[in-house]
Chains A and B, each alone.
Chain A
Amino acid sequence: AQTVTQSQPEMSVQEAETVTLSCTYDTSENNYYLFWYKQPPSRQMILVIRQEAYKQQNATENRFSVNFQKAAKSFSLKISDSQLGDTAMYFCAFMSSGTYKYIFGTGTRLKVLA
C-alpha cells in the first residue's frame, strides 16, 4: 500500500528567506503523480505544484520548486522569498494510476514570521 510521510509537523521561517518542506512516499508503482497543496486558514485546498514521476526535471512554479528524487522516493518543496501569505498547512499528496486515488500526508504547518 502506498504511504505519504511528512516528518515536520511545524516549521517557521523569516519573511524573505527560503524554507524546505520534506515529503517521502512509498510505492511499488512506476507511474504516479505528486502534488503539494496549501491550506490557508480559509480552509480551501490550493494546488501549489505538481510533478509527474516520469519527468526527471523538477517542477517549478514561481517561488515554489520541488526536489524530486525518484529513487529515494522523496519530494520536497522549496519556498523562496517567503511571504506572510505563505503561512498555511502544506500537504504532500501522491496519486497512483493503479489505485485511482489520492493519498495525502499529515501536513506541515508553516508560519512565516515578519
Chain B
Amino acid sequence: DTAVSQTPKYLVTQMGNDKSIKCEQNLGHDTMYWYKQDSKKFLKIMFSYNNKELIINETVPNRFSPKSPDKAHLNLHINSLELGDSAVYFCASSQGFYTDTQYFGPGTRLTVL
C-alpha cells in the first residue's frame, strides 16, 4: 500500500545513454513533482504536473522531459546522460497544487559513469 513509489531505486549507466525513472502514486492526488537532490543534499524542484498539465518547468536542461500518461503517474526521461546528472531523484505528490503537504517517494539514485 505504498503511497508514492519509484522504480528503479538504483540506476547505474554510462554517459550518453537515455534512461527513464517511473513514479506512481495511489493517493488520488492531483499534483506530482520531480526533485533533484545533489551530493550536498540540496533539494531542488524540477517539474510539477497538475492534472496532467505541466505547471512548473524549472531551468533544467531539455534533456530532461517529464511525461504523465495519467494523473497517477509521472515519469522522468533523461536523454544523453552526463556525469553531472548523478544525483538522487525524488518524485512527490500532493492533493492540491499549492497549500498541501507533499508526499515523497523513496528516491532513485542515479549514477552516471
Contact = CB atoms under 8 A, between A and B. Distances in A.
A42 B10 CA distance: 12
Contacts of B33: 102
Given A100-B48, A104-B42, A47 B109 contact: no
Report the interface size class on chain A. Answer: 20 to 34
Given A44-B104, A44-B105, A89 B41 contact: yes
B21 to A, nearest CB: 14
A contact patch SS? strand
Interface residues of B, number: 25
Interface string A79-114: 000000000010100011100111010110000000
Point out which of A45, A47, A95, A107 has the most chain B C-beta atoms below 10 A from its C-beta. Answer: A45
Interface in B32-84: 33, 40-45, 48, 55-56, 58
Interface in A25-79: 33, 35, 37, 39, 42-47, 50
Contacts of A46: 104
A99 B45 CA distance: 12
Given A45-B92, A89-B41, A91-B43, 11 more contacts: A43-B106, A43-B109, A45-B43, A45-B90, A45-B104, A47-B101, A95-B99, A97-B99, A101-B58, A106-B41, A107-B42
Interface of B: 33, 40-45, 48, 55-56, 58, 88, 90, 92, 97-99, 101-107, 109
